[in-house]
């Protein structure tokens, strides 16, 4: 059999495993499906072992690992609980609480990885709603939508932005300045949509009372970790002036926080999502195998190479549909070779915006969605597909349209 057919079969089987995480008679999930595909590419001779290793984008892996270590330390210090406790001081009514949660989650997700942010914020929101005798579902949905939308602002906000930021070479500050209008307008839309769809919850005018014991943090312990985080963020903005790459800055911050932080390094290391790193590394190998045999050459269209309004619209449409099938991170990995060939900055920004915002359409569109929904279910709160779909599709379509218009204006 021809190599390109073998590569195509492996690629299809891998993505079937990513899409359908429960197949009869097979013990499979997304990371194991990707790992199987990577090994198959080597076993069937599509890639040599050395080629497979060189296919892994260690810049992205390093950036993600560094941010995971920093975030895990902050979480163990109680940094997120401290921020939440300060935020709810203004949340005297359900609607003010909605605004606080949306803005807090969105802005926090912009500078820290959104998947990690929602993992730690979700229990706090559930605790707040229970103590305030509120229906937690609208607030949890707002959290998901805000985490995705807010993470769009920067290249460290979510995994797909990391991939795009590193491979495109766009400076951190420029990435932020060009995408922040879309993100901020998106957060406003989230507040309005949730307010309208859950009118009964937000029509209450009674002042809320919260259990202050719900927030556990150690202010003395977090001082060093917060200083290091601030230093890392500042260096992200000036990385091109100090001639340090963003992954190296992230890893340097991680090393410093392990040494000077007050949390035992062994506790931090246990919090790292090593499975996600394996998932990323495996996807790089699978996609490189398909790229090597030339299958992507047949996918690249003249429209994508033009870098005009039509190209941007094409990226937004395919992101909306394919993100629901394979999620936005695997979609971004597939698109990387095509985007490198196109070599157009506005298309890179379009891909970042479209894949992130498309993740809000359904509960399976992005990893952050699943993290919140599963975490809530473990605490007895069920968010159904339609519960999420109604606000999700409205927010996704509205923000995708805003994204397209803003980016066309930047052409």
Q: What is the pLDDT at residue 171? A: 94
Q: What is the pLDDT of residue 213?
A: 65
270: Cα within 13 Å, side-chain hemisphere: 6
Say if residue 294's pLDDT is above 80. Answer: no
Residue 29 structure tokens? 């999930």
Evaluate whether 323 touches 332 at the Cβ level (below 8 Å): no
Nearest to 366 by CA among 58, 77, 138, 158: 158
Question: What is the rounded average pLDDT of the residues 11-30?
Answer: 74
Distance, CA of 155 to CA of 243 (rounded, Å): 18
Q: What is the mean pLDDT of residues 336-362?
A: 91
Q: How confident is the model at residue 298 (pLDDT cuts 50, 70, 90)?
A: low
Q: Tell me which of 279 and 102 has the higher pLDDT.
A: 102
* DSSP state letters, 280-310: HHHHHHHHHHHHHTTTGGGT--HHHHH-SHH
For the stretch 85-143, pLDDT in tens is 777 777 778 898 999 999 999 999 999 889 888 988 898 888 888 877 889 999 999 99
Report d(CA 105, CA 83) in Å as an integer. 10
Q: Of 369, 329, 287, 302, which is closest to residue 64 (Cα–Cα)?
A: 329
Instruction: Over range 139-163, report the average pLDDT.
Output: 96
Residue 23's pLDDT is: 55
Task: Tell me the percentage of the chain whose pLDDT exceeds 90.
Answer: 50
Arithmetic mean of pLDDT, 236-250: 90
Please name which of 291, 250, 221 lies closest in space to residue 52, comparing C-alpha atoms.
Answer: 291
The rounded distance, in Å, linking the Cα atoms of 154 and 297 is: 30
- 3-class secondary-structure state, position 337: helix
pLDDT at 203: 82
CA-wise closest residue to 142 among 205, 97, 184, 207: 97
The pTM score is: 0.88
Provide DSSP, 205-223. -SPP---GGG----HHHHH
Give the tens place of pLDDT for each residue, 315-342.
999 999 888 877 788 889 888 888 887 7
Name the percent of the chain lying above pLDDT 70. 92
Q: What is the pLDDT of residue 210?
A: 65
């Amino acid at each position: 059999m021809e190599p390109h057919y073998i590569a195509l079969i492996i690629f299809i089987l891998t993505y079937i495993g990513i899409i359908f995480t429960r197949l009869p008679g097979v013990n499979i999930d997304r990371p194991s499906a990707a790992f199987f595909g990577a090994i198959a590419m080597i076993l069937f001779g599509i890639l040599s072992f050395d080629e497979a290793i060189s296919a892994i984008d260690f810049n992205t892996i390093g950036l993600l690992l560094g941010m995971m270590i920093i975030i895990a330390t902050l979480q163990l210090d109680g940094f997120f609980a401290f921020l939440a406790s300060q935020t709810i001081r203004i949340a005297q009514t359900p609607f003010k609480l909605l605004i606080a949660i949306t803005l807090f989650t969105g802005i926090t997700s912009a500078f820290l990885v959104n998947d990690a942010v929602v993992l730690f914020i979700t229990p706090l929101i559930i605790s707040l709603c229970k103590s305030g005798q509120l229906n937690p579902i609208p607030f949890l949905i707002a959290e998901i939508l805000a985490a995705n939308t807010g993470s769009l602002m920067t290249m460290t906000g979510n995994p797909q932005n990391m991939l795009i930021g590193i491979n495109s070479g766009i400076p951190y500050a420029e990435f932020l300045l060009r995408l922040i209008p879309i993100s901020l307008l998106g957060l406003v839309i989230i507040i309005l949509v949730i307010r309208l769809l859950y009118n009964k919850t937000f029509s209450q005018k009674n002042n809320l009372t919260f259990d202050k014991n719900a927030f556990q943090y150690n202010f003395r312990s977090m001082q060093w970790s917060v200083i290091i985080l601030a230093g890392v963020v500042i260096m992200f903005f000036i990385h091109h002036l100090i001639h340090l790459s963003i992954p190296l800055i992230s890893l340097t911050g991680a090393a410093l926080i392990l040494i000077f932080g007050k949390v035992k390094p062994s506790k931090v290391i246990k919090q790292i999502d090593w499975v996600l790193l394996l998932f990323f590394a495996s996807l790089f190998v699978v996609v490189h195998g398909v790229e090597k045999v030339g299958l992507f050459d047949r996918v690249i269209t003249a429209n994508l190479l033009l870098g005009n309004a039509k190209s941007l619209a094409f990226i937004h449409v395919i992101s909306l549909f394919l993100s629901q099938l394979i999620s936005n991170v695997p979609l971004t990995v597939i698109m990387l070779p095509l985007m490198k060939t196109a070599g157009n900055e506005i298309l890179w920004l379009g891909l970042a915006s479209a894949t992130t915002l498309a993740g809000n359409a359904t509960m399976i569109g992005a990893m952050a969605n699943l993290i919140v929904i599963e975490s809530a279910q473990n605490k007895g709160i069920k968010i159904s597909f339609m519960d999420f779909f109604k606000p999700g599709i409205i927010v996704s379509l509205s923000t995708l349209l805003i994204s397209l218009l803003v980016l066309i204006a930047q052409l």
